[in-house]
Amino acid sequence: ILNVEQSPQSLHVQEGDSTNFTCSFPSSNFYALHWYRWETAKSPEALFVMTLNGDEKKKGRISATLNTKEGYSYLYIKGSQPEDSATYLCALRGGADGLTFGKGTHLIIQP
Amino acid sequence: NAGVTQTPKFQVLKTGQSMTLQCAQDMNHEYMSWYRQDPGMGLRLIHYSVGAGITDQGEVPNGYNVSRSTTEDFPLRLLSAAPSQTSVYFCASSPGPSYEQYFGPGTRLTVT
């Protein structure tokens, strides 16, 4: 079982502030790192899939970076809005064909 | 496109009963998977399939059975339900495990 860690577990951020959180994973046998956004009472929705060391991806105010050599990825949210409140999940494909998810970072944006 | 559909949305079972959770996708995706979501545990992989006729175990396969006779369908069978299987179950599909996963709406299962 691969160990995928996300930190912090939860985060309260003022509206308009920028924030970031971390996904750590074993750097051996890396194939892909996924980020998902999960709103309450909905299903997870994909944000990014990254496969190459040094990858940077951006979607609107959300971006992500990947360091496969040291085994971490950062997710950044610029100028947080109330609609950004959600749980953000990362998932690793390493070695086998299954995905291992972290437990998520629960983000709450305070107006 | 309906995307990924799951039935039923809710189910209550008694201990020892069996049932099948249905999952279907209309995107011609080869890769399908089942996860369970429990408080504080995130999403844990139960079984997955890389194509029709091919299935493999994930992190928590015990008590569950799967088959993949068609590209579209990937049912999850509970052979003899136990209270520990009370959970929310999500099915997902994609072209492959290094592509973004499309999740179904989930099935909330309670075993009493």
Question: Do strands A56-59 and A62-67 pair parallel, antiparallel, or not at all (unpaired)?
Answer: antiparallel
Say if the Cβ atoms of A104 and B42 lie within 8 Å.
yes
User: Do A38 and A88 touch, CB atoms closer than 8 A?
Assistant: yes
Say which of A36, A45, A99 has its CB closest to residue B97.
A99
Residues of chain A where predicted confidence (pLDDT) is lower than 50: none
CB atoms under 10 Å from CB of B79, counted, come to 12
Confidence of residue B41 (pLDDT cuts 50, 70, 90): confident
Q: Provide the pLDDT for residue A73.
A: 98
CB contacts of A34 in chain B (<8 Å) are 100-101
Share of chain B above pLDDT 70, in %: 100
Distances (CA, A) of B103 to A15, A34, B24, B67, B87: 29, 13, 11, 19, 16
Taking the CA atoms of chain A, what radius of gyration do you get in angstroms?
Answer: 13
| Mutation for B interface: A4, A5, A43, most B CBs within 10 A | A43
pLDDT digits 0-9 by tens, B54-105: 999 999 999 999 999 999 999 999 999 999 999 999 999 999 999 999 999 9
Share of chain B above pLDDT 90, in %: 95
Strand partners, B19: B78
Q: Provide the pLDDT for residue B99.
A: 94
CB pairs < 8 Å spanning A and B? 60
Confidence of residue B2 (pLDDT cuts 50, 70, 90): confident
Q: Provide the pLDDT for residue A48.
A: 97
